[in-house]
Structure 1
Amino acid sequence: MPPGPGRAAVLAGLGAYVPPRVLGNAELCGQRPIGDEWIRARIGVANRRVAEGEATVDLAVRAGRHALTAAGVSAVDAVVLTTISPDRLVPSGAPEVAARLGLGTVPAFDMTSGCSGFLYGLGVAASMITGGAFDRVLLIASDVFSAFLAPRDWLMAAIFGDGAGAVVLRAGEAGAPGALGPFDLGSDGTQADLLEIPGGGARARKRQLAAPESEFSPYFRMDGPVVRKQAVVGMCESVTRAVERAGWRLGDLDLVAAHQANQRILDGLTAELALAPGQMLSHIEQYGNTGAASVPVLLAQAAAAGTLAPGLRVALTAYGAGLAWGSTTLVWPEVWAVAEGG
């Protein structure tokens, strides 16, 4: 399709991969007095998947291959990888993913935008397509969060899991089923320290001799209660703006796929958006918070199960480190999904 005002990025295929290793609450908590019941009540998680012998690029390759298979294609014009847990600071992982998928020397790069990385990635990939430079883009979100959790921090281990999700976007017509609607993206860097991995970067390396070791811990940390309250409000406002930009009303929504951060956040967002039971997609009980991968894994699994049926009006939203948030909309198309490990 030639460049022009009617050109849009259209969902063409989905893929997901979660590692086979299941870590349940009982095994995680051991002999601690706070266990399964507390975690289910406070976080909503019973199990999570943990990568063993696999890293972020490994998961990305498997999810990406599934998305390509679902889309019925063996080539794309570009690869975008979004992650919070890169295998290395340098180089980026996307070129390796492209090579291992047999995609040749296509442009490939990484993005980092916390747990909203997939929504930001959709925005970037869509712009690459609507601008006319690319006709088909493979977007992958992959996180091995277990590699960035402190060994004795059982609470963080209770929240997070590992996984990867991917989509193939193609050039198509605006308004067609699967065409991504207008985006709502935003950030608030004044609250950057609410969710962070402070060690490992230039700041830590430059100041490590002058500061306590704990200040630059290599492990993830967050202020959960503060983030939880802001996430509900932030995603609600973002979804509302995206829906309005699409020319819809909140009551027009059939389903919402939100970042799987915490069941309380999902419940709060459901109430704020006045959704009926079942309109909020969720798999957090069995997979936990898989970082940037949570929305695409959720979508691929729901599509493979038939929950996402053609014609449904769907909103996607996420909120996370940065702070950063994003939302968009689409009418669900006739599309294949391949979900492994679900």
Structure 2
Amino acid sequence: MTAGIVDIVIDTPGERVANDYFDSIGLTDEWIRRRTGVAARWWMDPEVPLEDVAARVCAPLVARHGERVDIAALVVVSSSTGGKVPGIAQRVAKSAGLPTEVLAFDMNAACSGFVYGLITGLSLCRPAGAVIVCAVEAMSRLIHKNDRNTGCLFGDGTGAVLLEDRPEFRESSWHAGCDGDRADIMRGEIGGGIQLDGMQVYDRAVRTMSDTVKRLHADGIKSDVIIGHQANTRILQKIREEADIGDAVFVDCVEQFGNTSAASIPLALGTCVAEQSIPKAGRMTLVAYGAGEAWGGVTLDYDLTDATSPRPA
């Protein structure tokens, strides 16, 4: 597979919620920052359809590239859409301006969803073709906001990337896995809140993501950028210590967004592009761990030289 990331759009619609929101339940800003790294998160209006939010980041990619390349597929990743049938991908495709011939489908792999979507999208890229992978999450609709264990952790947001097959891109690689016997250590549903076994999640997240980075770099080809699922700064710091990352830029944007599940990696990547804190082109490794239990990582080339506006107009 010689496709890579060539453009990105991200968005955090709704209200920015700082840590002082949780003063009433006895969680201070200092405590939340020390335990999680989170300073604020964004919560959407609960009445806004997720397909509208997703279409807002996909539409600029279609407008910028739709006449230049054949966008053959759209993968929409989410664990917070609420409904089962129909999914939202077809409505996102229509609203974003994609033709009716496009392959569009939903995917749910919890916090690993964007990585799973990328692996799938890379396999769908044809020569001189392109695929959009979009992650959209409204975790505020799953949590109980006054839950001292989980209320302060999660935020909302969306991001979409364009994968394009280019001759100058090198082969991508991926590693993924799952263990259904551990499904109970993280679970949640609309209206039911989120329950998680904090210690098990921490240990498993560090172990699986560190191991995945090592496996992906075993061929000796190092990445310029490493972005892990933005769940918790302490988890990211431990991965940075245990994985062999060399001189790669290791990204931590937890402070700005909290845990946005599948949307966390594209939000972090788009933020780096906007802040010009990573090379404009090179190779990156993206790695995630989430409920299911599911984990995975992908290493691929990218060229974001022209991605100067990662936020929709």
TM-score after normalising by structure 1: 0.83
Asked whether the equivalents of residues 55 and 144 of structure 1 are also in contact (C-alpha less than 8 Å), the reply is no
Q: Find out whether 1:150 has 2:161 as its counterpart.
A: no
Correspondence for 1:263: 233
1:4-23 equivalences in 2 (<5 Å): 8-23=2-17
> Aligned runs of 1:179-328 on 2, under 5 Å?
179=170, 181-197=172-188, 218-244=192-218, 247-248=219-220, 252-275=222-245, 279-328=249-298
The structural deviation recorded for 1:34 is 2.9
The one of 73, 77, 91 equivalent to 1:78 is: 73
- TM-score normalised to structure 2 length: 0.90
Secondary structure in structure 1 of the residue aligned to 2:160: strand
Rate the CA distance shift 1:308–1:152 in 2: closer, same or farther, 3 A. same
Give the secondary-structure state (helix, strand or coil) at the position aligned to 2:2: strand
Cα distance in 1 for partners of 2:82, 2:97 equals 20
Select 1:50's aligned residue among 43, 51, 60: 43
Q: Which amino acid aligns with 1:161?
A: G
Q: SS where residue 94 of structure 2 aligns?
A: helix
Where is the strand percentage greater, Structure 1 or Structure 2? 2
Tell whether the 8 Å contact from 1:14 to 1:336 is kept in structure 2 after alignment.
no
Superposition deviation, residue 65 in structure 1: 2.2
Measure the CA separation in 2 of the matches of 1:300 and 1:180. 23
For residues 304 and 255 of structure 2, what CA distance do their matches in structure 1 show? Answer: 28
Query: Given the superposition, is the C-alpha separation of residues 70 and 261 from structure 1 closer, same or farther in structure 2, using an over 3 Å criterion?
Result: farther
Q: Which amino acid aligns with 1:248?
A: G
Please list the CA deviations of residues 205-264 of structure 1 after superposition, one character each: whole Å capped at 9, or x if unmatched: xxxxxxxxxxxx7322211221011101100111111122xx325xx3332111000011
Residues 119-165 of structure 1: per-residue CA shift (max 9 Å, x gap): 100111111125x7x92211101100001112431432211000001
Q: Which moved more, 1:325-334 or 1:136-145?
A: 325-334
- Matched letter for residue 260 of structure 1: Q
Q: Which has the larger radius of gyration?
A: 1
Q: Could you report, residue by residue, the CA deviation over 1:180-227 in whole angstroms, capped at 9, with x for unpaired residues?
A: 611111111110111112x57xxxxxxxxxxxxxxxx73222112210
Contact 1:314 1:331 in 2 (8 A): yes
Partner of 1:120: 116
> Between Structure 1 and Structure 2, how many residues are aligned?
308
CA distance in 2, matches of 1:235, 1:170: 26
Q: Which amino acid aligns with 2:120?
A: V
Post-superposition Cα deviations, 1:29-87, rounded to whole Å, max 9, x if no partner, equal 13333311110000110100111142322221122124345657586211110101114
Partner of residue 163, structure 2 = 169
Pair 1:311–1:125, CA change in 2 (3 A): closer
- Give the Cα separation in 2 of the matches to 1:265 and 1:303: 23
Compared with structure 1, are the counterparts of its residues 82 and 42 closer, same or farther at alpha carbon in structure 2 (3 Å cutoff)? same
The code of the aligned residue for 1:273 comes to A
SS of equivalent to 1:237: helix
- The aligned residue for residue 104 of structure 2 is 108
C-alpha contact (below 8 Å) 1:56/1:87 kept by paired residues? no
1:98 counterpart letter in structure 2: A
Work out the CA distance in 2 between the residues paired with 1:96 and 1:311.
32
Q: CA offset at residue 331 of structure 1?
A: 3.6
CA distance in 2, matches of 1:20, 1:86: 16
CA contact (8 A) 2:173 2:300 kept: no
Q: Percent identity?
A: 32
CA distance 1:155–1:229, shift in 2 (3 Å): same
Q: For structure 1, which runs of at least 5 residues remain unmatched after alignment? A: 1-6, 201-216
CA RMSD of aligned residues (A): 2.4
Is residue 15–residue 70 contact of structure 1 (8 Å, CA) maintained in 2? Answer: no
2:311 is matched with which residue? 340
